[in-house]
Chains A and B, each alone.
Chain A
Amino acid sequence: MLLINCPYCGERDQSEFTNGGEAHVIRPKNPENVNDREWSEYVFIRANPKGIYYERWVHSHGCKKWFNAIRNTSTDEILKVYKMGESPPPIKGFKNTLKSPSGEPDVGSGNFAVKKT
């Protein structure tokens, strides 16, 4: 269970929060002016990387505030939390953080030893 640092309340158990998917997916200003492809990318398509991910959380069983977090989906490490509206810190600031828990490959998942052979 993650330990999440709500920017308004401080560190709380993950069970108090709800994940809101990828952050900084910008809703088109004039939806009528975008084509089907652009619109469907906004509605349906998310990055879902193995690695550093900008995502939204809401402190649903707490202050009910939405905020952004940068999480490494491979290690589950939360590298930064920041309030809605604040500009996202650049990804290169997290290049030196741990890539995976036990040194398994950057891409894919599964048993390290099995992968190697």
Chain B
Amino acid sequence: MSENKIYFKFDGKTYGGNQGDTIASALLRNEVKLVGRSFKYHRPRGIYTCGIEEPNALVQLINEHNEPNVRATVKKIYDGMVVKSQNRWPSLKRDLGSINNLLSPIFSAGFYYKTFMGPKGFWKNVYEPLIRRTAGLGKPPREFKSKSIHLHHNIDILIVGGGLAGLLAAKKLAGTDQDVLLVERDNNLGGILRNSNKIKSIDGQKSADWIEKTEWLLKSANNIKILKNTTVTTYNYKDHLIAIEDKTVGAQPDNNKPELVMHKIRTKHTVLANGHIERFLSFRNNDLPGVMLAASFEKYIHRYGVVADTSPVIFTNNSSTFSLLKTMVDMNHKPKAYVDVRDSKKIEKETLELINNYNIPFYPKSEIEGCEGKNQIEKVFIRTKKDKTLKIKTSMLCISGGLNPDIHLFTQSKGLVKWDEKILTFKPEKSFQNTITLGSVSGNFHFEKLVEEVNKKLGFIEGCNNVNTNIEVLGPKEFYIKEIWETKSLKKSLWSKSFIDLQNDVTTKDLRQAIREGFDRIEHLKRFTTNSMGTDQGKISSINALGIASKLLKKSVSEVGTTTYRPPYSPVSFSAIAGRSTYEFYDPVRKTPIHPWHEKQNAVFEDVGQWKRPWYFKKNENESMRDAVQRESKKVRESAGILDGSTLGKIEIKGRDALQFINLMYTNSFTKMKPMSGRYGLMLGEDGMVKDDGIVCKINDQHFIATTTTGGAASVLSHMEEYAQTEWPHMNVFMNSITEQFSTFNLSGPKSRIIIQRVFPSVDFSNEKFPYMTFKFLDYLDTQVRILRASFTGELGYEIYVPPKHALKLWERIFYSSRDIELVPYGTETMHLLRAEKGYIIVGQDTDGTVTPIDLNLNWMIGKNKNDFIGKRSLNRSDIIKSDRKQLVGLVPIDKSYGIEEGQHVIEQENLSTPIKKPVKMLGQVTSSYFSPTLNHSVAMALIKEGNRKIGSHLFVSTSNLNTIAVEVVKPNFIDPENVRLKS
């Protein structure tokens, strides 16, 4: 063995472990019992369990991921692994935070809600930083490069759990036509067969041999796939389950391989064979290191060959501890005491025989009153049946409070559970989905009846034969239990506590207090006390809390009910959820064909949806954004500018009824519009609110091209599709996105005609031959270029549409053709400035889904003679025609040296008190504001109440430092209101 030793570090000290050891089994092998400090009181904590249910032994892995809250009882060690304890400062043994334990009266149930109410400002400055430092678990990683992937499965039958029940189910299905997936969270199959000595023989063989043969049989059947190290965390509708596979068990994560795999499984039937979880008991200081669940103690022996203690005290209320007793005596280890709350007449004969034969100190009808010790358990106090208290020295106490079927996944599937008075726990009653429970998860703790259960419940599946496995049980066949949740504490010191939730440091006293304060509903009780709200979700203790609550409320447990189990079953790493969707893969980046040119010209990019758009171009390193935008804007109005508008949404609409359809989609009328012309169109929702805008070009009555905003491209297309398919399916109309089929350049400015004439000399660009809002197709190389005379700047302008393969060449040709003319490339910020000077709106900036065309004074765009269009009727609703709605206006500062801030309030009063004491009447808000280089002052657009009537009046705009600026309300059109430039 020793040549296979694996060395790892825990809190700086090196320990050796065996291949296959978990951190916990390796630490126990080295007799380390103290592994962490608790969440609230910083009490010393040890290893409580041997699996996924662990509430205490959470550690921090120090590797490139810095993984916090790792269960020491699950994570396998690897050579060179570095592990640290959590929640302690400066060291595990001398922890300063444990002063909290002495302050515990103020940390009782609801403490956070009650104590931190005031004084004002204390929460932010005093309480929160203090709590954050002392409470909490591990430290999250600073950065995480996900190395996880997602896999999908579509199968017939999923078996959750590769223990005895799961293996029998798989064996039954082997060789059938069913596509079966068997998922086991451990790194090997067998479950209870490997973890205890409860089963003497199976088919006359030793358990390990039977598992090996069965696994071979399953693997040689070609219809079963086995996934190990895989935990099912989620059971969704409809039989859709999520499982996380750990690919790095017992090894350092490999940088080039996936670390976790998220399996998304859609199945026809789900077989839950995921077993049970032992529950604990509450007594004084039941959290001390050295207190461990009995079955877990036994699992360490069988599974890892670790005997954590050779003479523990055993405390039980049920028959399942027989196997631990048997395991111990078989190894010639004699327990210090066997304390059973049951009367000896009620204790199964097999246990009594062992106790007699091996002369084990026996305390029937007795209980553990409590235990004491400094950093671990040193002595226990037994209350005997004659109500005497007896002190016994021990360093280990193994407890069993009963067995809970692991119904987490079953309840996630919305199955109904029912309280069973015989086994004192909830068990599945009725499946909601195609769920079958087998073995102890179904409340069947009787191994010899398991084969019958498997044959019966899976009998409906075609082509499977009966399994005839013969199981011989060691010890009691039935499960016997007596109800007990908590023992009465005698000693009262500040340090004495009886816990109900170890991870969240909730005591039974907290439960009692909460119920006294009126939190008598279980969901309220849970949230008020934070019971079972840790990362373990109270797996070993939540039923106990129900038990205690039921006693206090004098109700049966089934009346108290359970809280709702929600996914995930156990914590899921964000890495697994993210999969490959991280960093550059998180969201695709869309670039226009001109992107490399923009980069060379020092463009600063802006994200618009997935697109990268030039925001502004830096002329030199020292040029600020403001300077660049002022320069670009000025040049467009003086000479010419060009914008890469390729991201603009473009939709082609064709069909016999295209005209009728377009008339219904937009407010404008397109009937009398001449072919080869364009029109600015407004699209509304059925509620009458502006949804999108753009230029609609008519090629003929059966063929239109609509442009949309960059962000609205996808939603406008699906809006059109929806109406075409659902409201007017009789119409012959088809639409298709051509956004990526054409790159778009917006050439704008007084010199743009000279430039475009040079680029396309064959076309007559004169105002007479190519007037405003018309467009032309022309042959270009092996394809076609479309030119639309339109403008979003208020200047003479052309939009050039070119297939992307020729886009960059054409862009460069435009610049080459204008080498003696000043042509400036401009970005989105300049575009916004220029259109604001002109009073053109941006849907989504100057509108917000509550704005109608009337509010925008765009009444002229509403086709008055049209019978119908989407949203038309809503424009006559009483609320829409009210005159006191907000309307779009322009604002100009009276003192021209001031700038107006976007998003500020428009108000009537000049002076604001600091701090503001009374509500200030708000008229509206500034939606756009820019400093106009052409006008040399700030111009703004705002939506204000009764705006149209306020034109010419003076109002105030608040500023971020609580001053106000006096403004004049004007029409939102600051440059060339007569459109002389536009139509020149």
Contacts and interface: CB of A to CB of B under 8 A. Distances in A.
Interface of A: 1-3, 13, 20, 27-28, 30-32, 34, 36, 39-40, 42-44, 56, 58, 60, 64-66, 75-77, 84-85, 98, 101-103, 111-114, 116-117
Interface in B722-774: 722, 725-727, 729
Contact of B237 (A2, A98, A113): A2
Contacts of A113: 522, 558-562
B414 interface: yes
A88 B139 CA distance: 56
A44 B687 CA distance: 8
A5 to B, nearest CB: 11
A1 B430 contact: no
Contacts, number: 92
Given A27-B727, A102-B432, A113-B558, A36 B722 contact: no
Contacts of B558: 113
Given A102-B415, A102-B430, A65 B725 contact: yes
13 contacts: A3-B238, A31-B872, A36-B877, A44-B687, A65-B725, A66-B722, A75-B432, A77-B238, A101-B414, A103-B430, A111-B523, A112-B561, A117-B555
Contacts of A76: 237-238
The 7 closest A-B pairs by CB, nearest first: A113-B561, A31-B873, A101-B414, A102-B416, A101-B432, A66-B725, A1-B240
Given A56-B726, A66-B726, A111 B238 contact: no
A4 to B, nearest CB: 10
Nearest to A39: B873
Contacts of A39: 873-874, 877
A31 B868 contact: yes
Contact of B266 (A13, A28, A116): A13
A98 B729 CA distance: 34
A117 B415 CA distance: 20
Nearest to A117: B559
Interface of B: 236-238, 240, 266, 414-416, 430, 432, 521-523, 555, 558-564, 686-687, 718, 721-722, 725-727, 729, 867-868, 872-874, 876-878
Contacts of B521: 114
A13 B729 CA distance: 26
B729 A43 contact: no
Contacts of A27: 686, 727
Contacts of B872: 31-32
B237 A1 contact: yes
Contacts of A42: 686
A22 B878 CA distance: 25
B873 A111 contact: no
B690 to A, nearest CB: 15
B561 A114 contact: yes
A64 B523 contact: no
A30 B866 CA distance: 12
Contacts of B873: 28, 31-32, 34, 39
Contacts of B874: 39, 43
Contacts of A40: 877
Contacts of B563: 111
B532 to A, nearest CB: 14
Give the one of A27, A32, A42, A60 with max B CB within 10 A: A27
A100 to B, nearest CB: 9
A16 to B, nearest CB: 12
B523 A114 contact: yes
A116 B266 CA distance: 34
Contact of B522 (A30, A60, A111): A111
B440 to A, nearest CB: 21
Contacts of B687: 43-44
A27 B414 CA distance: 38
A85 B868 CA distance: 22
B238 A2 contact: yes
Contacts of B722: 20, 58, 66
A33 B872 CA distance: 12
A12 B868 CA distance: 37
A114 B982 CA distance: 70
A72 B604 CA distance: 51
Given A1-B236, A13-B266, A77-B238, 8 more contacts: A32-B868, A32-B873, A36-B877, A36-B878, A43-B874, A64-B718, A112-B416, A113-B522
